[in-house]
Amino acid sequence: MQKIELNGKTILVTGAAGFIGSNLVKRLLNDLQGATIVGIDNMNAYYDPSLKDYRLKELESLNCQLSTVNYQFVKGDLADKALIDSLFSQYHFDIVVNLAAQAGVRYSIENPDAYIQSNMIGFYNILEACRHSRDGIVNCQLSTVNYQGVQHLVYASSSSVYGGNKKVPFSVDDRVDNPVSLYAATKKSNELFAHCYSKLYDIPTTGLRFFTVYGPAGRPDMAYFGFTNKLLKGETIKIFNYGNCRRDFTYVDDIVEGIVRVMAGAPERKKGEDGLPIPPYAVYNIGGGQPENLLDFVQILQEELVRSGVLPQNFDFEAHKELVPMQPGDVPTTYADASALERDFGFTPKIPLREGLRKFAEWYKQYYG
């Protein structure tokens, strides 16, 4: 593993107005010294853009309070190759964290175009820009002193790549050749693309398979957020597979901690016996390894919503639950084996579900009133 000092580096974070991306930028703003952070997001309307505006305003406010990092935000799309190339040419990024993607399993069934544009073409543009970041070194055209091109590309994969795997917990050594949604297929494709570019162009890449990320200011299409909205309106929530689903929920702070540690540890560049690069490529799970039954999850969520005052003390939970069959594209269980992350970076997600849902409920009460 090649250790990278993050202070003083120039870092690109894609999806910077998104749930995970904004929390990562917040962490970097607080922790780093002398760095330049560029965030990019297309601010699409997949869910309420006002939530993305809220996250950006939080980052702007934090940036105004701090003077240790140069932070810039760019509104733009990864599928715009000219824009991506111009950003790489302007900033000479040392580290790239690609979190921008069209998310959601169910949405991919009805709207496949969005996934091809963002998750496939957008990621390809990032890979190409990383590849060509070293061109100026060879041609002696760069004015940036000691610039070595992109030292590490970290990108978001997903637990969805495991599809309907029966073996649990899910290990990065498991075969993942049978996706059950287009979203999962695009994420597996990202891993294949990254491996190819690591092998051909000696680009250190690390993919992170996230497991059901949740927390304050999260995505409204996620179950915990959607359930809260429905319960508050007096609507019925649907619990799929008749409640016989388990999810390995991971609080967003744990996800960010994992990303930051991985950013600072790139796969080492090495040559094989044939003189060609051994792919500097790695994939890790980031999940707590403690899958929760959906019925237990809903019970904890309800209790924390009452505790925070989002729902009244006398709310009739049973009248607002409906057990329904499994939906297309979904899987019965997600369960992370994060032992590789623990082995290489000394970290395993630890924030328990109740603590995380309590923080979400308190934020929800504050944000929506």
Cis amide prior to 169 (ω within 30 degrees): yes
What's the CA angle centered on 176, arms 252 and 294, to 5 degrees? 45
Residue tagged 């009133």 (tokens)? 369
* Structure tokens given for 236: 């019925």
- Catalytic, out of 47, 162, 183, 224: 183
Q: What is the DSSP string of 153-169?
A: EEEEEEGGGGTT--SSS
- Please indicate whether residue 183 is annotated as part of the active site: yes
The answer to whether the beta carbons of residues 292 and 250 sit under 8 Å apart is no
Q: What is the C-alpha to C-alpha distance for residues 48 and 123, in angstroms, rounded to an integer?
A: 24
* Structure tokens given for 72: 């810039």
Cis amide prior to 267 (ω within 30 degrees): no
Q: What is the C-alpha to C-alpha distance for residues 53 and 332, in angstroms, rounded to an integer?
A: 34
Nearest to 130 by CA among 190, 201, 73, 195: 201
Nearest to 249 by CA among 271, 274, 222: 222
Q: Among the residues of 13-48, which ranges form H helices?
A: 19-31
Nearest to 206 by CA among 268, 287, 115: 268
* Structure tokens given for 74: 């760019």
* Structure tokens given for 276: 């060609």
* SS3 state of residue 244: coil
* SS3 state of residue 338: coil
Q: What is the C-alpha to C-alpha distance for residues 162 and 185, in angstroms, rounded to an integer?
A: 10
Q: What is the C-alpha to C-alpha distance for residues 75 and 89, in angstroms, rounded to an integer?
A: 17
Q: What is the C-alpha to C-alpha distance for residues 365 and 53, in angstroms, rounded to an integer?
A: 18
**Annotated active-site positions, please?**
183
